[in-house]
Amino acid sequence: MPVSKVGFQAVNLTKHFAGVPALAGISFDLKPGEIVGLVGHNGAGKSTLLKVLAGAHKYDGGELYLDGKSVVFNSPAEAISHGVSTVYQELSLIPNLTVQENIWLGRELSGIAGLRKAEMRKFAQQMLDEFHLEMDVDRSLGSYPVAARQMLEIAIAATKNTKYLLLDEPTTSLEGEQIGRLLDYVKDIAKRKNVGVLLVDHKLDELYEVAHRIVALVDGKVILDADAESISHEEVVRAIVGDDIADAQEKGMDTTRIGKTSGEVILSVSDVHGPHLQGVSFDAREGQIVGLYGLVGAGRTELLRSLIGVEPVYSGEVELFRERYIPKNPADAMKCGFAYLTEERKIDGIVPGMSSPQNIALPIVTQFSTGGWINNARLSKMTSEFLNRLHVRGNTQGPIVALSGGNQQKVLIARTLAQQPKILLLDEPTKGVDIGVKSEIHSLLKSMVADEGMTLIVSSSEEEEILELADVVTVFAHGKTVASEIPVEDLTVAKLRELAWIATTESIS
C-alpha cells in the first residue's frame, strides 16, 4: 500500500500474543472526515488493532503513518498528542464527579490562586452547547443515562485537538432511539469537525447508516475493504464467514463426539423479554452442557443475569423443575439451585484483599457457623479440597490478587462449585487465561457434569470453546435467540459465525 500524504494509515501491521498472531499484516487507511466501519467475528483482531492504533499495545512489525510521516505511539497519551483519541466500550468517565469535573479530568486549568474554575466552567458549557448535549455542568454524571454519558465521552475525545477518533462498539449498551441519536452524533462530528472516525460495530445496519467504507477482518487479516455504497450487507457477511477455513477439525477439536440431547428438562426459557432481551427461548436438560453463543451485545450475559435475579424479566416464562421461576435476587437464585460465574472477575468476582479460601467461602460461610461461631476447621477442609481439585497454584493463603489471572479464575470456579448448584451459569469461563489453564478448566467442567449430573449453561464469545464444551448450542443476536439447541455435532466454527452474522441482516432484508 503506497503511503498517503493525508490520513492515518497502517501498513502491514503485525502483533503476536504468546506466539499466536492477532494481527497478520493489516493495511488500511482513514482520511479526515471519513467514517470507516470495522467489522469481524469474535477474535478477528478488531480490539487488538484498535489498541495498537491508540498506543495501548505496541505492534511487532509494520508501520503507522500520520499525514505521510512515520509515527510510533508508546502510550495512549502519545497518540492523543498526535490527534488520535479512542473511546472504548467500557466508559472511563467517573459517575460520582460532576459533568464539568469529568470534562476537565486530568487536564485542569490552574493558576497562582489555584484552579481557574470560572474559565473551566465557561469552556464546559460551551462544549456542551457545541455538541448539542443537554446536560447541567454541575450535575453528577452518574445521574444521566448511559447514552448521555457515552456521547459526553465522545465529545470530550473530540475536543482534544482530535483528528482521528476510534470508537469501540459505542452502541452496545444503548437501545432504540438512543442508538440513532448517537450515530447522528458521530456523523455530525465527522462532517463538522472534519474528524476521521474508525467505528467498530458488529451491527451492519448501524454501520450502513453512517459509514463511507467497510473494512472486515478475519483471523487478523483484512479480507474486505470497500465503499459502503458498492457492497451489500450480505456480501459483507459472506466475506466474514465464507472465507473461514479454520473450522472445528482444523482447530484440533473432537467433533466426533455426540452431544447429550436427551434427558429431563430442568430449565425452560420461553419468549423471555427484558431490558436487553427481545425474545429468548431454549431448554436445558439434566446433566447437559448448553452453549450460548453470539456477538458482543447479543444478549448472552443479560440472559444469565436475568436467571440469577440481577436483571428483571418483563414478559415470557421461565420454569425450573416444571415450576414457574422468578428470582428476586441472586441469593434467592442460589437457594433455588443456581450458581453464577461473572465475566468480569476483577470487577464483580474476586475480593482483592481476601485470601483464596476466604473468596471461596464467601457465599456459603453461614453453612459453617453455629450460634454465630464459624467452624474454621470444617471451612478450611472444604476450601482446601477445592483448591487441590482445581490445581490452584501459588500462595493461596495470601491475597488472591497475588495469584495469576488463571489461578484467580480457578478460585472463582471453586466458589461456584462449593455452592453445590444444580445449574451452573458460566459467563466467559476462560476469559484472559492461557491455553494450558483453559484446557484444565474445560476438563474439570466436563468431568463435573459427567460425575455429578450438574447442568452447565456456558456463555462464550469463543467459537472453539463452545464447540469443545457444549452438547447443544443456542445462538443469540440482537437480544433474541436465532437458533436454539443445535446439536454440537451439526456445527463448525464457520457455521456458528454464519448463524450469528446472518442475523445482522434480518432488519434490512
48 is a domain residue:
yes
Cell 433455588 belongs to which residue? 336
CA distances to 172, 238, 282, 328 from 275, rounded to whole Å, are: 13, 31, 19, 16
pLDDT at 323: 95
Last residue of a domain, one of 242, 269, 293: 242
Q: Encode 384-420: b = buried (16+ Cβ within 10 Å), e = exposed.
A: eebbeebebeeebeebbeebeebbbbbbbbbbbbbbe
pLDDT tens-digit readout, 212-234: 999 999 889 999 999 999 998 88
pLDDT, mean over the chain = 85
Does 111 map to a domain? no
Residue 304 C-alpha cell reads as: 444469565
Pick the closest to residue 438 from 472, 459, 407 (CA basis).
407
Same domain (yes/no): 40, 165: yes
Supply the pLDDT for residue 340.
94
Percent of the chain with pLDDT over 70: 88
CATH value at residue 477? 3.40.50.300
Q: Are 486 and 473 in contact (CB under 8 A)?
A: yes
Average pLDDT over residues 357-364: 86
Helix residue spans in 56-139 (DSSP H): 76-81, 99-103, 117-130
d(CA 186, CA 59): 28
In a domain, 82, yes or no: yes
Do 76 and 151 belong to one domain? yes
Place of cell 475493504: 225
Residues 21 and 151 in one domain: yes
In total, how many domains does the chain have?
3
Residues 56 and 179 in one domain: yes
Helix axes 177-192, 146-158, angle to 10 degrees: 10
Dump pLDDT digits (tens) for 478-509.
Answer: 899 999 999 999 998 888 888 887 765 554 44
Q: Is residue 294 located within the same domain as residue 228?
A: no
Within a domain: 106: no
Residue 458 and residue 373 share a domain: no
Q: Which among 36, 39, 84 is positioned nearest to 64, based on CA atoms?
A: 84
Strand arrangement of the beta sheet that strand 221-227 belongs to: 84-87, 164-168, 196-200, 35-40, 213-218, 221-227
> 333 and 358, same structural domain?
no
Q: Is residue 105 in some structural domain?
A: no
Q: Record the cell numbers describing residue 506, joined without a space.
A: 434480518
What's residue 49's pLDDT? 94
- State in Å, rounded, how far the first CA of the chain is from the last one: 35
State whether 215 and 268 are in the same domain.
Answer: no
Parent domain of 392: 348-420
Decide which of 242, 274, 302 is a domain's last residue: 242
Q: Tell me the per-residue pLDDT of 331-343, one tens digit each, with 9 for 90 and over.
A: 999 999 999 998 8
Q: Indicate whether 173 and 87 sit together in one domain.
A: yes
pLDDT tens for each residue of 371-392? 777 777 888 888 899 888 888 8
Q: Is residue 284 domain-shared with residue 431, that is, in the same domain? A: yes
pTM equals: 0.64
CA separation for the pair 301, 28 (Å, rounded):
33
Whether residue 313 has pLDDT greater than 80: yes
pLDDT band of residue 326 (cuts 50, 70, 90) is very high
> Is residue 285, in this structure, part of any structural domain at all?
yes
Same domain for 451 and 470, yes or no, is: yes
**Same-domain pairing of 428 and 413:** no
C-alpha 17: how far from its chain's center?
19
More confident residue, 57 or 249: 57
Give, in order, the Cα–Cα distances in Å from 414 to each of 13, 363, 387, 409: 40, 11, 7, 9
If you average pLDDT over each of 104-118, 200-214, 322-336, 380-394, which comes out highest? 322-336
Grid cell 460495530 is found at: 201
The answer to whether the Cα torsion of 460, 463, 466, 472 is positive or negative is: positive
Strand partners, 24: 14
Confidence category of residue 279, pLDDT binned at 50, 70, 90: very high
117 within some domain: no
Name the nearest CA neighbour of 124 among 105, 111, 142.
105
Within a domain: 133? no
